Amino acid sequence: MHTFKVIGLLLHYPDEQLVAHTRELGEALDVEGLVAGRCREGFERLLERLRARDLLDLQAEYVETFDRGRARSLHLFEHVHGESRDRGQAMVDLQQVYRENGFQIASRELPDYLPLFLEFLSTLELEAAAAWLEETGPLLAVLHARLAEDGNPYAVVFEPLLALAGCEPEDAELRARVAAQPPDNTAEALDRVWMEEPVTFGPEGGCPSARPQRKTTPIQWAERRQQAR
């Protein structure tokens, strides 16, 4: 599934190699057709932005978007477990999932880094990948809402993921909750944000269209591991 790999690349820290291959990334999206219509136009605007802007400016904007504060962090377990011991075990479980599916991490990134997780999904059949996205959908919906609230161009890359997860990108209730939250990227907020309640997964965690029979619990990688074999 090239679409997941392209989205993962777009969520990486921008570098010269990414900028040099933006046209090829757009072509890869069109092969599978999972990104179409208005969403595809949004992707093209992001790709054009990567081509047109100075690389140092792109890198500074990326850091401001994803690396200041926890609210828009691309490390999934940071939202679920914070800095608790449970995060370490979740990392071990996820890395075991990767190994059992023949996916070896060849970088220094942590297993829960979203671009790396998407690269893992790119190695699966669409049905299996969609099942994983359904599990993480409520968190992806929150990340999308936080980006969309600021008019951030990266918001669009979450939309095809939400569609496969059964989540509504234009969830008005979620957008209202996000809009009411104070920013966590100010100097005063950077310490305070780590004490916030972790995001939970399930219907009450942000996606009303997720399966209603599933309890709202932190993501259970061990259960999903059995289904992914």
Tell me the per-residue pLDDT of 133-165, one tens digit each, with 9 for 90 and over: 998 888 899 899 899 888 899 999 999 999 998
pLDDT average, residue stretch 190-217 = 45
Tens of pLDDT along 76-113?
Answer: 888 877 666 777 788 888 888 888 888 888 778 888 89
Give the pLDDT score at 167.
Answer: 84
Angle between helices 22-32 and 2-10 (to 10 degrees): 150
Whether residue 72 has pLDDT greater than 80: yes
Q: How many domains does the chain have?
A: 1
d(CA 127, CA 129): 5
Give the pLDDT score at 26.
Answer: 94
Domain assignment of residue 142, given as a range: 2-228
pTM for this structure?
0.76
Split at pLDDT 50, 70, 90, the class of 197 is: very low
